[in-house]
Amino acid sequence: MSAMTNYFESGILNQVFRGISLTLPSTGVFIGLTSDSPSESAPADNELSGNGYARVHVPTGNFTAPSADGNGHKVENNTAIDFPTATGGNWGYASGVIITDASSGGNVLMKGDLTTPRNILEGDTFRFSTNDLDVKFD
C-alpha cells in the first residue's frame, strides 16, 4: 500500500511549499477496509459497514522506523491489527485498505489494495499480522 489520496497530497504540498499546516493525527491512525480498489479522490466511498465493522485505531509508535525497500522507503505495523469480529451477518468482500485520521468520517490519508482479498463472513475476524501492512513511498 503506498498511494496517497488527493487530500493528503494537497496537504503535504501546501505545508511544504506554502506554509499552510496540515493537521495530522497525533495519537495514531485508523485502518479501514473497502469492497473495491479505493480511488484517490473518493477512497472511502465503498468502505465496509454494518455487522460489527469498525475502523481500527493503531496508536502512534505501532509502526517500524522507515527502512530502505527497493527504490523507496517503507514502514510496517509492528503489532497485529485486529478488526472486530463480524457479527449479525457478513461484511462482504474486502479488497482495499484505507488509512484515515478518524474512527469514522474524517480524512483518508492513504489507500491501497489488499494483496489477498477475501470475503469476510459472520464470525470472521480480519487481521493484519505483524509486518503485514506495508506503507511504502518510492
The reported pLDDT for the residue numbered 2 is 60
- What whole-number distance in Å separates Cα of residue 110 and Cα of residue 100? 7
- What whole-number distance in Å separates Cα of residue 39 and Cα of residue 131? 24
- What whole-number distance in Å separates Cα of residue 50 and Cα of residue 55? 11
The reported pLDDT for the residue numbered 38 is 83
The reported pLDDT for the residue numbered 11 is 95
Question: CA triplet 125, 66, 31: central angle to 5 degrees?
Answer: 25
Per-residue pLDDT of the chain (138 residues; tens, 9 = 90+): 568 999 999 999 999 999 999 999 999 999 999 999 888 877 788 999 999 999 999 999 999 999 998 888 999 999 999 999 999 999 999 999 999 999 999 999 999 999 999 999 999 999 999 999 999 887
The reported pLDDT for the residue numbered 75 is 95
Q: Which of 87, 94, 102 is nearest to 120 (CA)?
A: 94
How far from 79 is each of 33, 59, 71, 130, CA to CA, in Å? 18, 10, 25, 5
The reported pLDDT for the residue numbered 92 is 96
* Grid cell locating 6: 488527493
The reported pLDDT for the residue numbered 1 is 58
Burial code (b: 16+ CB inside 10 Å, e: under 16) for 69-94 equals eeeeebbbbeeebebeebeeeebbeb
Q: What is the pLDDT of residues 1-31, one digit of tens each?
A: 568 999 999 999 999 999 999 999 999 999 9
Model confidence pTM above 0.85? yes
How far from 129 is each of 72, 73, 114, CA to CA, in Å? 23, 20, 13
